[in-house]
Amino acid sequence: MNSRQYIALEDTYGAHNYHPLDVVLTRGEGVWVYDVDGKRYLDCLSAYSALNQGHVHPVILEAFQAQASRLTLTSRAFRNDQLPLLYKELVELTGYEMSLLMNSGAEAVETAIKLARKWAYTVKKTPRHQAEIITAAGNFHGRTISIISTSTEPFYRDDFGPFTPGFASVPYGDANAIEAAINENTCAILVEPIQGEGGVIIPPDGYLRQIRAICDQHHILFMADEIQTGLGRTGKMFACQHEEVRPDVTIIGKAMSGGFYPVSAVLADKSLLGLFRPGEHGSTFGGNPLAAAVARAALRVLVEEGMIENAVTQGDYFMEQLAEIPSPHVREVRGKGLLIGVELKPEAGGARRFCEAMLQEGILAKETHENVIRFAPPLIIDRQTIDWALDRIRDVLTRR
């Protein structure tokens, strides 16, 4: 079958809840992917940062295959010999005393929301079912009903109410607005250190530190959604570390498995995660031995192969070069590490057409929020490959 035939099948029989670029991929290796017609592309999306380690990383593959042939699922009714090792390695890597394993990012965010409420009722003594969590406008935390209840994006929520109560919304990047929104029932603030889906929005310097101070002062939990920004993407293990801030709860997912398998986690100290009692929360697949083995390998290569340092070096270079492209369409280039957004002027006709043009040139990038092109290649990318990409990006941004 050729690309056209695959696309026709998909469009006929699959729900149209995505609007993918018309490229049908069949193989990936490192920063490169190949379509069914044999054409090669540079992956500049990395599955929304789930592929920080690159496609089919050989060390993760080996762990995946070995574990898949030994034991894949026990459920948490029984213990397995991989999960305890992952727990221990997460403590050493992140500095949090405990973790709770889930599968998708949205499930981990839901878990954090439940944890904050549990803490409110058992520790802070908030009246039952009155707890409130502050979230930021423009956020993306996933797609469940409760999570979209925090969304300010009409498209994500308009046809899906009624919504879950207990959330307040404030403008992103404004710590004073957070302080003003706090009331006696506020138990937590949930934010992304950089808004990825929101259009690579970087808050003002000091924002995260201010949130930390506000939380300490008002006895509120600071919960950071690092599902996209964490695990090296911005040049630190966690983006909050750019401000030397330690949230009470950090949520990770995506690159936790290097793209092999859905693995997510809520990280916190024992005073919080110790609040869950047996049976109160869970997941059949969460913390399964295959997921744990894959996550262990994915986290190990991230550190051992210097990917986080590489995100700094290559990210700085990539961003600097992008900013020098004399394009009439570009309004701003911004980012941290290898999470880069190129915001186009409103009159540029939207980011989609540039992404389609880059596709023709062998570069896969996706528009986010209509006018922003996100460049987020795997963290293993080298300078030579960035130069290759820049030649093509320059062409697309200046000639069209």
Ligand X SMILES: *Cc1c(COP(=O)(O)O)cnc(C)c1O
Cβ of residue 265: shortest distance to ligand X, in angstroms? 12
Distance, in Å, from the CA atom of 192 to the CA atom of 194, rounded to the nearest integer, reads 5
Closest separation in Å from C-beta 2 to ligand X: 30
Beta bridge partners of 133: 167, 188
Token pair belonging to 289: 């031995």
Residue 253 or 341 with smaller CB distance to ligand X: 253
Q: Smaller CB distance to ligand X: residue 254 or 329?
A: 254
Cβ at position 109, least distance to ligand X in Å? 6
Q: Which residues pair with 335 in a beta bridge?
A: 340
- Give the residue numbers annotated as catalytic, written as ranges: 140, 225, 254
Q: CA 50 to CA 42: how far, in whole Å?
A: 15
Q: Is 62 exposed, middle or buried (0-12, 13-18, 19+ CB in 10 A)?
A: exposed
Residue partners of 259: CB distance under 8 A and separation at least 6: 46, 47, 50, 51, 53, 55
CB of 262 to ligand X, least distance (A): 6
Among 46, 82, 104, 288, binds ligand X (CB under 6 A): 104
**Residues 106-165 close enough to bind ligand X by CB under 6 A:** 106, 109, 140-142
Give the residue with the Cβ less far from ligand X, 329 or 337: 337
> Is the distance from CB of 189 to CB of 134 less than 8 angstroms?
yes
Q: Which residue is nearest to ligand X (CB)?
A: 105
Q: According to the binding rule CB under 6 A, does residue 294 interact with ligand X?
A: no
- Residue 369 interacts with ligand X (CB under 6 A): yes or no: no
Cβ proximity to ligand X: between 140 and 222 the closer is: 140
Q: Which segment (69-77, 105-113, 271-279, 349-357) binds ligand X by CB under 6 A?
A: 105-113
Enumerate residues 230-259 that contact ligand X by CB under 6 A: 253
Which residue, 118 or 233, is less far from ligand X as judged by CB?
A: 233
Residue linked to tokens 């934010």: 191
| Among positions 28, 54, 193, 196, the unique one binding ligand X when judged by CB under 6 A | 196
Instruction: Determine how β-strand 372-375 pairs with β-strand 366-368.
Output: antiparallel
CA-CA distances (angstroms) from residue 322 to 168, 315, 338, 354, 375? 37, 10, 12, 14, 10
Residues in touch with ligand X (CB under 6 A): 48, 104-106, 109, 140-142, 192, 196-197, 225, 227-228, 253
